[in-house]
Amino acid sequence: MGQIHIPNEIPVRYLPRSKGANAFFVILMILGLVSFFGTLMKDPAQAWRAYVVNWLFFTSIACGAMVLFSATTITKARWNWSVRRVGLAFAAFLPISFILFLPMLGLGEDYFPWIEAMAHDPIVQKKAAYLNMPFLITRNVVGLALLFGVFLYMAYLSVRPDLGLVKDGGKAGSDTGRSRWADRLTLNWQGQEKEEVRSYQTLKKLGPASVLLYALVLSIVAFDWAMSLEPHWFSTIFGAWFFMGALWGGVAATAWATVYVKSRDPDLNKLMGVQQLHDLGKLAFAFTVFWAYLFFSQYLVIWYGKLPWEQAWIIHRAEAPWSGLTVITLLLCFVVPFAGLIGRKAKMTPNILRFFATVILIGLWLERYLMVVPSIHDGDPTITLLEPTIGFFFLGLFLMSVRWALSTFPTVQIWQPMSEPESLEAEVLDAEGAPV
């Protein structure tokens, strides 16, 4: 691939608003709500299992996309200059995710088997300091609030210079929604270069902290909402498997959204070139291999340990009636994307890349399903149209929030740190003779 070229002047472009898309999202949400409440009346346990699975999936995707943004900020990456804002748009789902999380805190014995086992199981009793509802609620609420808050603040720091430049240049346009958000997010903006530098410097400082917080919080979420469902079983690598899968999903979702955005506007299609698609495809392929490595590492350690309470988790999913779903998950998460993305052409062809991104996302949804449901459901697998239909509610909210962000804020980041911010800051200091 050729050298990355960032234009000196980047045009202000937005994803066009679409009443048809919004109507489609609303239909999805209505279908999801009807399915959820219909299932809730017949089988509350199944309804809430589907709710938790979908929350875990869509929340992890949004967080994974934000970590990709953090990682590229830390490394001062330039390859993703035109698609950076696409991944950042997933932050718009995080406030919705936090609200959707609150009803899950009311789940009791029907979801957490360890609550009932705590009265008579000595092994579970030894874990009482961690496995108790007050502590679970506290660590989840505080952790998610901190993580989402940091991600949203990083999104604010990223879009604020752009909105300031748009207002200063008289390019806000006639869209009242865009103008209102620009006014809110550029409060006290003075239009000075040092403000842009300060935003970028703060982003670089928050980047490592956000990645560490992401790993910690999503590990807690994985332990509490998946691993604790079989309280005798534990895996030290389970948290890493969960949050690295989330990052992989964020990469796949960013690739999918990038292809979509390219198809909606000719100017955006020119700015988001083959180089960006190729790099996103390489990341998706790399994480395919890494996911398989983590999966096998977990399997290898557990199996050679020959501890029955550890092997039970794998055996349960490898034998009937769950073996079929496990095989499908392995095919979608490893075999198909590995074979499909190993070549260069697939990574550079928009529709092919979008196809494999879709395969990966479906596989990750099944992975989340298999993390949760077999542990708390006895009998044959009950995955029917209800689980994905309930997921339509989450999907509608997810797509609507991401599309809103891409159509409200500049779809391509306008301000680019063309020079090293440290040298730029030094020039400001020399000119003014005072600290920034």
Helix (H, G, I), strand (E, B) or coil at 310: helix
Minimum mean pLDDT among 163-177, 219-233, 247-261, 295-309: which range? 163-177
Length of the chain: 436
- Report residue 421's pLDDT band, with 50, 70 and 90 as the boundaries: very low
Helix (H, G, I), strand (E, B) or coil at 356: helix
Q: What is the 8-class DSSP label of residue 229?
A: G
Handedness of CA 253, 254, 255, 258 (dihedral sign): positive
- One-letter amino acid at 422 equals E
- Report residue 332's pLDDT band, with 50, 70 and 90 as the boundaries: very high
pLDDT tens digits for 33-83? 999 999 899 889 889 999 999 999 999 999 999 999 999 999 888 888 889
pLDDT at 233 > cutoff 50:
yes
Minimum mean pLDDT among 4-18, 124-138, 196-210, 398-412: which range? 4-18
pLDDT at 358 > cutoff 70:
yes
Which residue, 54, 55, 58, 62, is CA-closest to 89?
62
Minimum mean pLDDT among 6-10, 251-255, 335-339, 344-348: which range? 6-10
- Break the chain into its structural domains and give their ranges: 19-432
Q: What is the 8-class DSSP label of residue 333?
A: I
- Report residue 427's pLDDT band, with 50, 70 and 90 as the boundaries: very low
What the block records as the tokens of 57 is 């999936």
- pTM score: 0.91
Distance of alpha carbon 61 from alpha carbon 143, whole angstroms = 17
Q: Answer with the residue of higher pLDDT: 71 or 429.
A: 71
pLDDT at 432 > cutoff 70:
no
Torsion region of 419: left, alpha or beta (phi above 0 gives left; psi -120 to 50 gives alpha): beta
pLDDT tens digits for 337-353? 999 999 999 999 999 99
- Report residue 170's pLDDT band, with 50, 70 and 90 as the boundaries: low
pLDDT of res. 197: 83
Minimum mean pLDDT among 212-221, 294-303, 321-330, 400-409: which range? 294-303
- Report residue 172's pLDDT band, with 50, 70 and 90 as the boundaries: low
Distance of alpha carbon 435 from alpha carbon 417, whole angstroms = 20
pLDDT of res. 78: 86
What the block records as the tokens of 304 is 């050679």
Per the prediction, the chain carries an average pLDDT of: 87
**Of 142-156, 254-268, 296-310, which has the strongest mean pLDDT?**
142-156
pLDDT at 303 > cutoff 60:
yes
- Neighbour count for residue 321 (Cβ, 10 Å): 11
Which residue, 223, 91, 243, is CA-closest to 152?
91
Q: Computed over its alpha carbons, how large is the radius of gyration of the chain?
A: 23
